[in-house]
Amino acid sequence: MPNRAAFDELSALAPLLRVRPELERLCQFGAQWASPHDQSPAGWVPFHLVARGSCILDIAGRAPVSLHAGDVVLLPRGDPHLMRGATTPADGRSQPPVVIRPNGAIELASNADAPDTELICGRLSFEPRAESLALAVLPSFILLRADEGPSARRVAGLLHTIRDELVQAAPGARAIGAGLASALMIMVLRIHFARDEARSGILGLLAQRQTAGAVLAMIREPTRPWSLDDLARAANTSRATLVRGFRSLAGQAPLAFLADLRLDLARHRLATSDQGLTEIALDVGYQSQSALTRAFRRRFSLTPTAFRRDREPAQPAG
């Protein structure tokens, strides 16, 4: 059951973590199907809600993930991925053609008259200022299982309500579905924040009065030239107390945490936008392209240019 600290963190983050869900497709597939998704552009987080049946999610660097009815998946970094049928080969080739048609509430994608699996696929749109928060707070992959507990079962129930609204396509169904999806995503984040593995790092910092103010200040204004004195004032504590808190909960000093946040932002921009390096450097808090390049090389062992060259071109998710 979520503890009180998780509620406090979510309350602190909610005004910053403003997202708008876009329900893109209701997929109704037979046993054999595959749906590839490219790298999402900056500010977009793809999600998949399994309404019925089972399927497999493939992401580079991870073992295949089996998904079942009521499960919810978020990909906060927008990583390329493949959704496929539970018995579909990983290459995803030679599948029945998919017919796409609108029903008045959402696009329906189907390749079978009697589908075995139903998915609701969409994206969360982050406001620009929420990008740094999402990168700092959320991992690259969030999976909520329907059998994870009472809270997860409530999420699964809400998922089925969204599905019914979209299938019936009554007047206002799209707006109702989007509103319910907003509530569903907040519930998913609440459950994620309460998990033991999420209690360290930034969420641990946000749970402590001595460090929370500094973390929120950095997230709100990652480009500001923060000093340790500035951050201590933001947290209403002493410099020594602030440093002890960060080292205990995050394993690094406050300014090192800020440097990592800026580099994560830069890496995300490199992967999801066509911005120039100088523009990215200034946008994430560096004085010049060369300063970003030096810091990026120290942390990731390659230059921003090499990192971008090795990535797939940014494309909207399909």
Q: What is the pLDDT of residues 232-261, one digit of tens each?
A: 999 999 999 999 999 988 889 999 999 988
Give the residue with greater pLDDT, 203 vs 104: 104
Give the model's pLDDT for residue 132. 59
Comparing 15-24, 54-63, 77-86, 307-316, which segment has the lowest mean pLDDT?
307-316
Q: What is the pLDDT of residues 203-225, one digit of tens each?
A: 778 778 889 889 889 888 888 99
Share of the chain above pLDDT 90, in %: 52
Fold of 201-310: Arc Repressor Mutant, subunit A (1.10.10)
DSSP per position, 86-112: TTS-TT--SPPPPEEEE-SSSEEEES-
CATH 1.10.10.60 maps onto the chain at 201-310
Maximum Cα–Cα distance across the chain: 66
Give the model's pLDDT for residue 157. 92
Give the model's pLDDT for residue 97. 87
pLDDT band per the 50, 70, 90 thresholds, residue 315: very low
Give the model's pLDDT for residue 68. 96
Nearest to 73 by CA among 97, 98, 55, 91: 55
**Side-chain-side CA neighbours of residue 280 (13 Å):** 26
**Cα dihedral value 195, 200, 202, 205, nearest 10:** 110
Give the model's pLDDT for residue 226. 96
Look up residue 148 and give its DSSP letter.
Answer: S
CATH 2.60.120.10 maps onto the chain at 4-196
Contact call for residues 293 and 17 (beta carbons, < 8 A): no
Q: Does 144 have pLDDT greater than 90?
A: yes
pLDDT band per the 50, 70, 90 thresholds, residue 173: very high
Give the model's pLDDT for residue 214. 93
CATH class entry, domain 4-196: mainly beta
Give the residue with greater pLDDT, 47 vs 126: 47
Give the model's pLDDT for residue 220. 81
